[in-house]
Structure 1
């Protein structure tokens, strides 16, 4: 039993890294992804085409390859720039954690931009036309009418993407980030208790997913009530 409790404690100590990667990636992904979705819907020249290519590449290649490209590519790029341009950038400033944050954020942007695009397209266009007739600016139309409804429509998919991100952080061990999976591998290899350790790790991911589902259920309930109140005014 002491081994089990020790394992739970060691994995628990790695939990913050898993949560930080997920939260940062989700925040960046949702913010930039929403902007990308608006650009695509408005069919902004050049930028919309670049976003399509970006989304296609990220969504069509494994996340672990994206991690390796950044993990090995960024230091080499910095060394190249230092040599050719005479810069003095320290390659070590890009720690494994920072590279993981960048990789997961870029990954989240591609998926959440498509999620928010679907949400935006679900908003009844007649509401936008009505808002224009009363003189509302595009900024007010998006912030007060379009985006709240789009977010509400996209919420179930956003929840799924968040859970996928949490599970995806298990790949961060490949670039030396000490998250749940990395610590579990170390303990399992040292103690040869693979089933026990990985079962405990699975329980951690499961608990995180349950908590996230409850949080999103609360958000969805509040969002729906808020929109219903607005529509009745």
Structure 2
């Protein structure tokens, strides 16, 4: 299972790099002008797309980062991504709280069940922060929502803290891709991959 997750993560990073190369060749002048003419609408649309990518599996908003960073800038893209990922994970958590018959309309129950079995039943604030750094936001949110002992406030605050660091890293990497700095973005993504694997290993050892 862990090997499949690592392979999937590697494929996602490769796909983002390839998409960044492709997007760099696009002429986004008209799109940039349109969004700059309606900045609030453009930002709101991006946040909605990010939320949808979490609630409606198996979509991912990461391929949007190079375009968003090119239009909004790295810092604003990071802030908008944090808002979208956070609101999306809160919605996913609440969907899971309604019960499995509602959850199956949005996610694969088998995937959620597999992840739920791997999450410690006594997971608390610090554990959720770490999970946000080492696992995808979407399916993790559904799985955590099935843990009845977990309070919404604890989940919400811990998720926000865990999302923030990687939102800025992902946005910066996307910005570099959007500017055509492919080598820099590749090193950032590789470094982030090793950081995720290291955090996961350290956390697993602390749980033994």
Q: Could you tell me the TM-score, scaled by structure 2's length?
A: 0.33
Q: Look at both structures and tell me which one has the larger radius of gyration over its CA atoms.
A: 1
